[in-house]
Amino acid sequence: MDHFLYRDGALFAEDVPISEIAAAVGTPFYVYSTATLLRHFKLFDDALEGTDHLVCYAMKAASNQAILKTLAQAGAGMDVVSGGEYLRAKAAGVPGDKIVFSGVGKTADEIRTALTGGIRQFNVESEPEMEVINAVALELGVIAPITVRVNPDVDAKTHAKIATGKSENKFGIPISRASEVYARAASLPGLEVIGIDVHIGSQLTELEPFELAYNKVAELTERLRAEGHNIRRLDLGGGLGIPYNRSNDAPPLPVEYGAMIQKTLGHLGCEIEIEPGRLIAGNAGLMVSKVIYVKSGEDRDFLILDGAMNDLIRPAMYEAHHDIVAVQEPEPGVERQPYDIVGPVCETGDTFAKQRNMPPLAPGDLVAFRSAGAYGAVMSSEYNTRPLIPEVLVNGDQFAVIRERPSFDEIINRDTIPEWL
């Protein structure tokens, strides 16, 4: 469920007409719903009720500080994967003891920043990283809390580019080597081993892969405890999918996911961390774009929009589906026709959808890409010297621009011409 609904034939974000925002900020733009963000966070928090837990929002999904502050005020922790994300979370007012640092390539400088500013834990991905964290912690005279990310070799049954839990993926250590790696961690004086981390992928639409992985984590927890390690926290990652195509079956609900966690891991008495990103932010955001031209080709018609692949790269990068709707609701029974929906960038890959049935549209009409709140604005670029598009946050009948569109002068003036030119 989201809070983007038609009223009297017009698409609204909560209590604000989309057309009103378009008139104020221009197109294209991203718009997020506060009510949807909070509702989806609460679904996860409620799903783990009765269990010692923390829901850490995976901020790589959408990292505007206004979004982070909204979720932090509701009680969320943050999962970060870079020093920049760590500093962004801190700037949004998130305390260090609610920030988890993941990622395979943490640098010594990033580790130093987090240890200085406060950190809940590092999710360690390799033995060389473990040695660097130990060295930096000793240099600073502190103890670094860590979990070790294990790779359970489970097929997440998702897109190959977002699967992370198979043996050929770059993430974590093989679960078969866990005893050896944990023994090494325990011997390093700058580290405190507190738990286990696992994350098998993103946009999972079934619970079975999670269950297979979590059963392996349960077995590993008991084995490591028998070997003398105080395993008291399990970081289970994120990855629960959202219904990008609303005509298909919906993925499992957070309450079903929570019940499965309780069934597989509840007997261990561990604190549970989960790191949802997409399911919190995905359906909380739209990208709104305007039709520039309607073009007739030899065997197909094209809707050419002012939004492009640099603004929303998921269809080009992942062959991802987004429902695309007219901001002005079509009349009941209106005849639809197939269009290729494309942007203006000089790439054939700048295609959002092929042969998508749409109501009649004309230049100047607005369309909205649903489920664009996650991995939309954060993955955008200025390719073709196209400015990053505004982000807007709605709260009831109010809206605010939370990222401005830069001017062409601001973009161009970032370049520096060498003196020899």
What is the tens place of the pLDDT at every residue in 263-286?
A: 999 999 999 999 999 999 999 999
Cα torsion angle, 216, 218, 223, 228, sign? positive
Residue 163 in this model has a pLDDT that exceeds 70: no
Question: What's the pLDDT at 158?
Answer: 46
pTM (global) more than 0.85: yes
Residue 166 has pLDDT above 80, yes or no: no
Structure confidence at residue 161 as a pLDDT band (50, 70, 90) = very low
| Residue pLDDT, tens place only, 55-66 | 999 999 999 999
CB 121 within 8 A of CB 103: no
pLDDT of residue 230: 97
Residue 306 has pLDDT above 60, yes or no: yes
Tokens of 306: 């002012």
Ramachandran area for residue 8 (φ above 0: left; ψ -120 to 50: alpha; else beta): left
Active-site residue 346, yes or no? yes
Q: What percent of the chain has pLDDT over 90?
A: 86
User: What band does 359 get if pLDDT is binned at 50, 70 and 90?
Assistant: very high
Cβ neighbours around 176 below 10 Å, total: 12
Q: Give me the DSSP letters along 39-71.
A: HHHHHHHHHTTTS-EEEEEETTS---HHHHHHH
CA proximity to 388, closest of 409, 405, 369: 405
**What separation in angstroms does the CA of 218 have from each of 45, 79, 201, 209, 383?**
22, 22, 19, 14, 46
Q: Are strands 29-33 and 285-296 parallel, antiparallel or unpaired?
A: antiparallel
Tokens of 163: 């699967």
What's the average model confidence in pLDDT over 145-168?
A: 66
Confidence band of 159 (pLDDT split at 50, 70, 90): very low
Angle between helix axes 127-140 and 108-117 (nearest 10 degrees) is 50
Taking CA atoms, 29 is separated from 59, 231, 303, 318, in Å, by 20, 45, 18, 21
Higher local confidence (pLDDT), 371 or 170: 371
Q: End-to-end CA distance of the chain, in Å?
A: 56
The catalytic residue among 50, 226, 299, 346 is: 346
Spatial separation of the C-alpha atoms in residues 361 and 352, rounded to whole Å? 16
Distance of CA 248 to the CA centre of its chain: 21
pLDDT exceeds 70 at position 289: yes
Query: Domain ranges in the chain?
Result: 4-31+282-412, 33-281
- Mean pLDDT, the chain, integer: 93
pLDDT bracket for residue 307 (50, 70, 90): very high
pLDDT of residue 171: 67
Q: Per-residue pLDDT for 253 more than 80?
A: yes
Look at residue 293 and give its three-state secondary structure: strand
Model pLDDT, residue 172: 81
Fold entry, domain 4-31+282-412: Lyase, Ornithine Decarboxylase; Chain A, domain 1 (2.40.37)
| pLDDT at 82 > cutoff 90 | yes
The Cα 275–Cα 199 span in angstroms is 9
Helices 178-187 and 208-226 sit at what angle, rounded to 10 degrees?
Answer: 50
Domains 4-31+282-412 and 33-281 share a fold: no
CA distances from 97 to 78, 100, 115, 163, 171 (A): 10, 8, 11, 28, 24
Residue type, 40: H
Per-residue model confidence (pLDDT) at position 244: 85
Rounded Cα gap, residues 106 and 102, in angstroms? 8
Provide the CATH number for the domain formed by 33-281 in this structure: 3.20.20.10
For 141-202, where are the alpha helices, taking DSSP H only? 178-187
On the question of pLDDT at 297 being above 90, the answer is no
Whether 194 has a pLDDT exceeding 50, the answer reads: yes
Greatest alpha-carbon span in the chain: 71
Tell me the average pLDDT across 330-353.
Answer: 95
Alpha carbons 313 and 318: distance in angstroms, whole number: 8
What is the Cα–Cα distance from 102 to 124, expressed in whole angstroms?
7
Q: If phi over 0 gives left and psi between -120 and 50 gives alpha, with beta otherwise, what is residue 81? A: alpha
Reduce the DSSP state of residue 393 to 3 states and report it. Answer: strand
Rounded mean pLDDT of 41-59? 96
Helix axes 34-47, 254-265, angle to 10 degrees: 30
Question: Which of 110-119, 124-133, 168-177 shows the lowest per-residue confidence on average (mean pLDDT)?
Answer: 168-177
pLDDT band at 372 (very low <50, low <70, confident <90, very high): very high
Banded pLDDT at 157 (limits 50, 70, 90): low
Closest among 105, 100, 152, 155 to 125, alpha carbons compared: 105
